[in-house]
Chain A
Amino acid sequence: MSDGSTTNSGGFPNPLAWLGRGAIGLFAETGRLAIFAGRTKAAAFTPPWNLAQIWKQIVAIGFYSLPVVGLSAVFIGAALALNIYTGGNRFGAEQFVPNIVVLGITRELGATITGLMLAGRVTAGIAAEIGAMKVTEQIDALKTLSANPFRYLYAPRFLAACITLPVLVLIADIIGVMGGWLVSVFALDFDSTTYLRNTIDFLTMEDVVVGLIKAVIFGAVIAIMGCYQGSKSKAGATGVGRAATLSMVGAAVLVLASNYMLSTLFVRIGI
């Protein structure tokens, strides 16, 4: 049946109505997400803290992400070294492989790859867990038992992600550089000692710190997207599945968008 507000007489969707509805929806959703993020942060930065829950989440988010982060980092570091070698070859600049690998990993790829992998592993997991709690009335039960879900569920996940992401990124940085070194030494005939000396000489504290600051922001994005989508999950297996998908896609896009914005900021202020 045609709906007068969105279709014209021919029954085709009215592009203006469609665009308008999309725009209003986007602004409303952004507003709701911002309010949710604000309430989560308020609960996270004021006592009392639920230390047992925070620790449980640090283990779930941090410790169990080590394999996926380590594997991703070693492969991205190795691929980066290969590509820089091939590209540098054209200008006779192969010797810059260690410098560019360590710069690329610490400033950019270590944090981004960790953020993206966790947007998959952690965000979807949080959304599915919270979504299942929502549809089985466990969130309502929390409220009736005087436990604020922001304090009991969302803030511990938020804090745990903000604390563990920098640690994971630091580990990804080290393993990523190691991936580059492995390929360079065993496949590209670099001298191991020279490679490592070049890496250490070129490495600066600023580059590492840039990656770690990004990591904190990615941690916030990952936890908030998971909790937000989970908390508004619709009933049934489809509802929870959709919450998990939406949260993952949203977190991945926001990780990349905030990465670009942070990179711009750091370049502007000269670090």
Chain B
Amino acid sequence: MTQPILQLKGVEKSFGSNQVLRGVDIDVVPGNSLVVLGGSGSGKSVMLKNALGLMTPDAGQILFNGEDVTHDQGREREAMRARIGMLFQSGALFDSLTVWENVAFRLLNAEKMKRSDAKERAIETLKKVRLGSSVADLYPAEISGGMQKRVALARAIITKPDLIFFDEPTTGLDPITADAINDLILEQVKALGAAAVTITHDMASARKVADEIAMLFEGRIIWRGPASSIENSGNAHVDQFVNGRADGPIQPAI
């Protein structure tokens, strides 16, 4: 069996009396695209932040390439992050930096690359997400939401990571732009041969980018299977979610 690039074992996380993750077990193999579905407040973002080391789990383990990185700090943590890309829900571009400085941020800061070389790499990467060199010197506030997402995608892939996280990549975009972003994600992830973990509640996005789909409910993974079997999962929770019905075992979060 292939060694998973990322494994979460019994990960638990609480905030005060609110237990968000109640033992999440999941693994991602290299080159595979996993989509984690879940309703609002199901703990998707918290799971992602634990996997990235932005939060430390209360219990359980996180393994990266088979090594326990749960409590890593400093250099070990940086070594892991150098091989991971992340596309934040809001894009999280740095307002005070231009588009190319955002894309080349890791090259300029962590890798101390010369500015001229870094800019060249940034413009090359912007081309991959169908953005021309004319946007390179603009600031994030000067471009549209869809373009910001593409810039954020360029920033996530510029160092050719082995694993990329996507936090609701299509949220806040119109269906056409969302589909274009899905196409770009699919294309770039396949080109890099990277593994991808996408958390979303957008079924169109999930169907498009997933090799495998998992469902997070009440802090646990309750179902997992190939993307093709999502329509007949045999799981009432998954059925309700996929078909977007208000009535069923999952209570709407309102």
Contact = CB atoms under 8 A, between A and B. Distances in A.
Given A138-B92, A141-B92, A147 B49 contact: no
B214 to A, nearest CB: 22
Interface string B107-150: 00110000000000000000000000000000000000000000
B81 A146 contact: yes
Contacts of B93: 138, 141
A141 B110 CA distance: 13
B83 to A, nearest CB: 11
A140 B88 contact: yes
B219 to A, nearest CB: 21
Interface string B94-110: 11000000000110011
A136 interface: yes
Contacts of A143: 53-54, 81
Interface residues of A, number: 14
A140 B110 contact: no
Interface in A112-167: 132-133, 136-138, 140-147, 152
A140 B152 CA distance: 13
B50 to A, nearest CB: 12
B118 to A, nearest CB: 13
B89 interface: yes
A145 B110 contact: yes
Pick from B89, B94, B155 the residue with the most CB of A within 10 Å. B94
A141 B109 contact: no
A233 B47 CA distance: 21
Contacts of A132: 95
Nearest to A53: B96
Contact of B84 (A137, A141, A144, A152): A144
A121 B84 CA distance: 39
A145 B49 contact: no
B90 interface: yes
B88 A141 contact: yes
Contacts of B53: 143
Given A141-B86, A152-B109, A146 B78 contact: yes
B110 A146 contact: yes
Residue from A132, A133, A142, A147 with most neighbouring chain B CB atoms (10 Å):
A147
Interface residues of B, number: 21
Interface string B38-58: 000000000001001110000
Contact of A144 (B54, B89, B90, B109): B54
Contact of A136 (B54, B78, B84, B92): B92
A136 B167 CA distance: 13
Contacts of B52: 140, 144
B204 interface: no
Contacts of A152: 109
Given A136-B92, A138-B92, A144 B82 contact: no
Contacts of A141: 86, 88, 92-94
B105 A147 contact: yes
B54 A140 contact: yes
A144 to B, nearest CB: 5
Contacts of B86: 141, 144
Contact of B89 (A137, A138, A142, A147): A137
B92 A140 contact: yes
Contacts of B155: 145
Contacts of A140: 49, 52, 54, 88, 92
Interface string B191-221: 0000000000000000000000000000000
B78 A137 contact: no
Given A144-B54, A147-B110, A138 B82 contact: no
B161 to A, nearest CB: 10
Contacts of B49: 140
Contacts of A133: 94-95
B213 to A, nearest CB: 24
Given A140-B49, A140-B54, A146 B109 contact: yes
A148 to B, nearest CB: 9
Q: Which of B52, B53, B105 has the most CB of A within 10 A?
A: B105
Q: Which of B84, B109, B155 has the most CB of A within 10 A?
A: B109
Interface of A: 132-133, 136-138, 140-147, 152
Given A144-B52, A144-B81, A146-B106, 20 more contacts: A132-B95, A133-B94, A137-B88, A137-B89, A137-B92, A138-B92, A138-B93, A140-B49, A140-B92, A141-B86, A141-B93, A143-B53, A143-B81, A144-B54, A145-B81, A145-B109, A145-B110, A146-B81, A146-B110, A152-B109
